[in-house]
Amino acid sequence: MYRICKIFDVECGHILSKHKEKCKNPHGHSRKIEISISANELDDNDMICDFKVFKLALGEYLDTFDHAILVNNKSAEFEFYEKHYERVIGFDNCDPTTEVMASQIYNFVKEEISKGLEYKSSQNNDYSFNKNIKLDKVRVWETASTWAEYFENES
């Protein structure tokens, strides 16, 4: 079994409207997003897949989080932030905790992998996820010492 991981850095804020203490206030984090995939076999280039495909397939989506504020779309604050800020991401009736963020990103990555698309680089080369890969997990770091991850059990 082979495994690779790609890490993206994202600066974003969130509001945890259900929190009892300080985290109910707007605050930000320097996050790392780790995406881990595995395969039983390597491709014709002796890789699980080229790391470039991560950036081509996922970079634009993950960039939507950069310098955005994440807010529960049913919270009292949501309309205020949507009206006054450019980069607001509403989480559907749930607080944008690190756990929820990891799950949302996992589902997006899983969908991209299942599409089997080819992505063109700026040099016009094609990149794609190997057909035999498995998305293992998405880990989102909230601070240097705390993270949450999401994965699906194989049972």
Give all domains of the chain, ordered by start, each with its CATH number.
Answer: 2-150 (3.30.479.10)
Q: Could you tell me which residues come within 8 angstroms of residue 95 by beta carbon, excluding any fewer than 6 positions away?
A: 14, 15, 16, 17, 18, 19, 72, 75
Record the pTM.
0.93
Q: Which pLDDT score is estimated for 137?
A: 98
Separation of alpha carbons 7 and 155, rounded Å: 27
Q: What is the pLDDT of residue 47?
A: 94
Q: How confident is the model at residue 155 (pLDDT cuts 50, 70, 90)?
A: low
Residue 114's φ and ψ, nearest 5 degrees, are -65, -25
Give me 92's structure tokens. Answer: 């559907």
131 pLDDT above the threshold of 90: no
Residue 144 in this model has a pLDDT that exceeds 90:
yes
Structural contact between residues 43 and 101, judged by C-beta atoms closer than 8 angstroms:
no
